[in-house]
Amino acid sequence: MILFIEQILNGVQIGLLLFLLAAGLTLVFGIMDLVNLAHGSLYMMGAYFAAVLTKLTGSFFLGALLALPAALLLGIVVEVVALRSLYSRDHLDQVLATFGLILFFNEAAQLVFGVAGMTIPLPEALQGQIQIMPGLPYPTYRFVVVAVGLACALSLYWLVVRTRVGMLIRAGASNREMAGALGVNIARLYTLVFGLGAALAALAGLMAAPITTVRVGMGENILILAFVVIVIGGIGSVRGAFVAAFLVGLLDTVGRAFLPDILTLFINPIQAASLAQGLSSMLIYILMALVLVVRPAGLFPAPGR
């Protein structure tokens, strides 16, 4: 029973990490109609920025805080230099161009930051564990991940629904020409939204870094998971991304945690572990296919799309 609660927590925690990554992706897609495969590269760059800045300042908090504007800036540069002229193109062109950006960023990161990879050591206060209930200590830092994920979800909701920027964003998303005619600077708005998406990706990257180490290509596989999340949730819907991230995180963890034991009843442990690993990786994609077969536009289809 304790193990089950612990695994649910693990799933929630992974889900929230995924949500951080997916939120930026779904925002950019929902508002600008841009498929950005290079979102994973921004995730990686955010982690590298945080690692370097943590080293320079000697503080994880400071490093993380400084990495966000740095990533925002990088996002703006990428938008202005490469992606701006892609908005009017079809999704295929966008997929291809941003695929090219992935290749570029991977090699560039290796040349700039070296091949050794980096780690972000946690400050003393976050290294320990918190006793949730008797017999169940849980790493403090994982709670921080959960807290940041939830805070981020709330502030995004607030930003989109309650603020003037959010109003502009919603106006731009539902009717580009109309908003432009009313005097909204659409180009600047888009640049800003893309920068915000980049900062969100960086936040995900730097939150994951103390757990997973910073290295070249770290964004590639998790990117596909993030895409699965936004597709299940309904592209463009932050709320959908939130729900889907939970589903994916839980399904993945529960599969990894309990399938091997079930299969061991039938076949030898090494084979069972191998097979279980394959099956649990598949579960996520089966979920996505099922959702799309039943609801071709995801769980929470964004209006006007």
Partner 1 sequence: MAIKPTPTVAVATIVLAGFALLPVYAVLAGDSFVLSLGTRILVMALAAASLNLILGYGGMVSFGHAAYLGVGGYVVGIMAYHGVTSAWVQWPVAILLSAAVALFIGALSLRTRGLYFIMITLAFAQMIYYVGVGLYDYGGDDGLTLNARSDFGGFPSLDDRPQFYYLCFILLVAALYLMKRLVGSRFGQVIRGAKSNDPRMHAIGFPTMRYRLTAFVIAGAVCGLAGVLLANQADFVSPATMHWTRSGDLIVMVVLGGMGSLMGPVYGALTVLALEESLSSLTHYWKIIFGPFLVLVVLFGKGGIAGLIARWERRK
Partner 2 sequence: MSLKTVLLAGSALLALGISPAYAQSEVKIGFITTLTGGNANIGQDMRDAVELALDHMGRKMAGKPVKVIYEDDDQKPEVGKQKAEKLVQSDKVDFVSGFIWSNVLLASAKPVTDAKVFLVNANAGATQFVGAQCNPYFFSTSWGNDQMPAAMGELMNQKGVARAYAITGNYAAGRDMVKGWQDAFKGQVVGTDLTKWPDQLDFSAEISKIRNSNAQGVFFFFPGAHGIQFITQYTQAGLKDKIPLYSVFAIDQLSMPLLKDNAVGVIQTGPWTADLPYAANQKFVTDFKKKFNKVPTFYAAQTYDAINLIASGVAGAKGDLKDKEAIRAAMKKANIQSVRGPFKLGPNQVPVLDIYQQVVEKAADGDYQQLTVSTVLKDSVSSAASACKMQ
DSSP state of 89: S
List Cβ neighbours of 277 (8 Å cut-off, separation of 6 or more): 256, 260
CB 140 within 8 A of CB 128: yes
Q: Which does 29 bind (CB under 5 to 8 A by kind): partner 2, partner 1, none?
A: partner 1
d(CA 121, CA 205): 15
For residue 270, give both structure tokens: 């090494």
Beta strand segments in 111-224, E:
129-133, 136-139
Choose the contact partner of 57 out of partner 1, partner 2, none; CB within 5 to 8 A by kind: none
Q: Which does 257 bind (CB under 5 to 8 A by kind): partner 2, partner 1, none?
A: partner 2
From the CB of residue 65, how many other CB atoms can be counted at a distance below 10 Å?
A: 14
Q: Among residues 64, 71, 85, which one has the least CA distance to residue 24?
A: 71
Binding mask 73-112 for partner 1 (x = CB under 8 A): ---------x--xx--x-xxx-xxx-xxxxxxxxxx-xx-
Q: Which long-range contacts (CB under 8 A, 24 or more apart) does 156-162 make?
A: 156/23, 156/27, 156/238, 157/238, 157/239, 160/238
Residue 106 CB, shortest distance to partner 1, in Å, is 7
Stretch in the footprint of partner 1 (CB under 8 A) among 16-24, 157-165, 251-259, 270-278: 270-278
Binding mask 203-222 for partner 1 (x = CB under 8 A): -----------------x--
Q: Which of residues 219-238 bind partner 1 (CB under 8 A)?
A: 220, 224, 227-228, 231, 235
Answer whether 94's CB lies under 8 Å from 85's CB: no
Structure token digits, residue 259? 């399938």
Q: How many residues can be counted in the chain? A: 305
108 scored as a contact of partner 2 (CB under 8 A): no
Asked whether 230 and 31 are in contact (CB, 8 A), the reply is no
Quick one: 118 or 150, whose CB is closer to partner 2? 118
285 makes contact, choosing from partner 2, partner 1, none, with CB < 5 to 8 Å by partner type, with partner 1
By CB under 8 A, residue 57 contacts partner 2:
no
> Does 175 help bind partner 2 (rule: CB under 8 A)?
no
Q: Which two tokens stand for residue 238?
A: 């932050």
303 is a contact residue toward partner 1 (CB under 8 A) = no
Name residue 211's beta-bridge partners. none
How many chain residues bind partner 1 (CB under 8 A)? 47
Position among 24, 195, 260, 298 found at the interface with partner 2 (CB under 8 A) = 260
- Judged by CB under 8 A, the stretch of 4-12, 75-83, 165-173, 233-241 that binds partner 2 is 4-12
The correct pick among 5, 262, 271, 303 for binding partner 1 (CB under 8 A) is: 271
Tell me if 85 contacts partner 2 by CB under 8 A: no
Structure tokens at 77: 């540069």
Amino acid at the residue 150 = L
The binding site for partner 1 (CB under 8 A) comprises 29, 35, 82, 85-86, 89, 91-93, 95-97, 99-108, 110-111, 220, 224, 227-228, 231, 235, 271, 274-275, 277-279, 281-282, 285-286, 288-289, 292-293, 296-298
